[in-house]
Amino acid sequence: MSRADAPIASVTATVIDLPSRLAGTEIASPMDVFPEHRRRRASWYGSMSGVVVQVAADDAVGVGWTQGGHAVAALVEHHLGPLLTGKDSADVDGLWELARRACYPYGTDGLAAMARSALDLALWDLRGRRSGLPVHRLLGGTGRPLPVYASGNDLEYHQSLGFAASKIGLDHGPCDGDDGVRAVRATIAAARERAGAGHELMADAWMGWTPRFVRLVAPALAEAEVAWLEEPLPPDRPADHAGLVESLGPVRLATGEHLYSIESFARLIDAGVHVLQPDISWCGGLTAARRICDLAHEHGVEVALHLGGGPWGVHLSSAHPACRRAEWYVGSMPGEPLSAEPTIFTGVRYPDSGVISPGEDPGFGVTVDPTELARYRA
């Protein structure tokens, strides 16, 4: 356990812009109804710049991470951070609740949840650093290694790196009419042929489909033995998910990365969703994600944290029995090592032959590189 009575001395938030392949990746989206934005995520995605939050107390600094750019940084530095300053940094649960209630006047989801996530992660990191323990040990874990699935469409590259599973993005949807149905069917069939029979496949529609479109392409997903279809509907339509479960047949339904409350995930469980996918740096931090995992485990539902192989997610993924695997977005280019993707952190652990473990360094095990922080500061 971490030592008590370590008041928070300061809270800072720094916005960074890291080069990324993600925003330029073509994928179906809820903005496809507007022709000028169809399959052009970079044309509307807006400020999803990274935000590094650092919480200092006693002789240590905890580090957290989220996105949301300057809007989130403002919430941290001008509202939530000052509320936490002077409070006992070891009271992680109490500070999580304080910050959540403080957001009621403008809403607790979205950008507010992202801000609280970074603060919560920084507090967990601080707790680990002060106790000398990795976060997964604080959660009762043993450092269990996890199989990792690679996200991206470079299937041959994934296999060359030792991944045995991949999640591909699907770039057509209902706005493409019958051509969209044919395109998705062709994409799925081609992906299965490229991957081979022994490589597990998942598919992501990133909020860009409708229940009818899912029904039309479900047979092709089943024929290609796709393990799950991810986030086919916008997050504000939980009632429609129950029908999708029946439409998909043997293909499991996964969703949740754009939800921000424990209650929202409870509704997904009630709808029969097979795999919950909270993002630990968006949904309220480790404290919230752990409660979502607890709820899922009680109902026999798997949790696959969005980008759960990264420094913030791998500790919970390793420690919690609801988690069976971790996701890694492949931001490097074919032929490069995974470590070629730009980062401001040192100590990042990368999948090795399709497996990752959280390591034994204190906290989340990563440290801000001040030179890289200054280089990418927005």
> pLDDT of 243-282, one tens digit each?
999 999 999 999 999 999 999 999 999 999 999 999 999 9
Same-domain pairing of 188 and 58: no
Of 101, 132, 163, which residue constitutes the final position of a domain?
Answer: 132
Q: What's the domain range around 36? A: 8-132
Residue-level pLDDT at 2: 45
Alpha-helix residue ranges (DSSP H) falling in the chain: 69-75, 81-84, 92-102, 110-131, 135-138, 155-160, 177-195, 211-223, 241-248, 262-270, 285-298, 314-319, 370-376
What phi-psi label fits residue 377: left (phi over 0), alpha (psi between -120 and 50 degrees) or beta? beta
Residue-level pLDDT at 1: 39
Selecting among 158, 241, 306, 320, the annotated active-site residue is 306
Of 114, 132, 150, which residue constitutes the final position of a domain?
Answer: 132
Same-domain pairing of 148 and 52: no
Cα four-point dihedral sign 269, 312, 121, 42: negative
Same-domain pairing of 110 and 248: no
Residue-level pLDDT at 48: 81
Of 132, 148, 173, which residue constitutes the final position of a domain?
Answer: 132
Mean pLDDT of the chain: 96
Model-level pTM?
0.97
Domain count, the chain: 2
Q: Which band of pLDDT confidence, cut at 50, 70 and 90, is reported for residue 4?
A: low
Q: Is residue 147 part of a domain?
A: yes
Tell me whether residue 306 is one of the annotated catalytic residues: yes
pLDDT > 70 fraction of the chain, expressed in percent and rounded:
98
Domain holding 356: CATH number? 3.20.20.120
CB distance 284 to 113 below 8 Å: yes
Q: Is residue 376 part of a domain?
A: no
Same-domain pairing of 68 and 181: no
At 90-149, the pLDDT tens digits run 999 999 999 999 999 999 999 999 999 999 999 999 999 999 999 999 999 999 999 999
CB distance 181 to 218 below 8 Å: no
Same-domain pairing of 142 and 15: no
Q: Is residue 378 part of a domain?
A: no
